[in-house]
Amino acid sequence: GAVVSQHPSRVICKSGTSVKIECRSLDFQATTMFWYRQFPKKSLMLMATSNEGSKATYEQGVEKDKFLINHASLTLSTLTVTSAHPEDSSFYICSAQTSHGTESGYTFGSGTRLTVV
C-alpha cells in the first residue's frame, strides 16, 4: 500500500532554534500534502495544506511565518518550526492523498514528536 514516511520521529530542540520535519510519499506522487498538530489527549488539528510548486494554505490562527512549509517536489513536503518555544511542543503529523480525485482517503505519516526545552 501507499506509504508516507515522516522524519524525524522524535526531536528535542532548544528554545529559539528551528526544526525541520520531512514528509515523503514513497511510492506515489502527492500534489497536495497536509500538516496536522496534535496536543496530548486531543484530536488532530489541521495546520496547513501544502501544494506542490505553490504557497501553502494555512488554517486560521496558524502563523505562516512561524511554520514554514515547502513542497518543492511531488514526493516531499517539509515543515520548519522557526524560533521554537516550549508551547510549540506537540505531535506533528503529515498526510497525503494516495490517489488523485478518488474516494480513497489519505495516508498518514507516523508523526514527529517535538519537544522544545
Partner 1 sequence: DAKTTQPPSMDCAEGRAANLPCNHSTISGNEYVYWYRQIHSQGPQYIIHGLKNNETNEMASLIITEDRKSSTLILPHATLRDTAVYYCIVRVVYNNNDMRFGAGTRLTVKP
Q: Please name the residues in contact with 100: beta carbons below 8 A apart, sequence gap of 6 or more.
A: 31
Q: Are residues 47 and 35 in contact, defined by beta-carbon separation less than 8 angstroms?
A: yes
Q: What are phi and psi of 102, to 5 degrees?
A: -115, 180
Pick from 53, 86, 103, 117 the residue near partner 1 by CB under 8 A.
Answer: 103
User: Shortest Cβ distance from residue 3 to partner 1 (Å)?
Assistant: 11
Locate 36 and state its grid cell.
Answer: 496536522
89 binds partner 1 (CB under 8 A): no
Interacting span for partner 1 (CB under 8 A) from 13-21, 44-52, 62-70, 72-80: 44-52
Residue whose entry in the numeric block shows the C-alpha cell 490562527: 61
- Binding residues vs partner 1 (CB under 8 A): 4, 6, 31-32, 34, 36, 43-46, 49, 51, 91, 93, 95, 97, 100-103, 105-111, 113
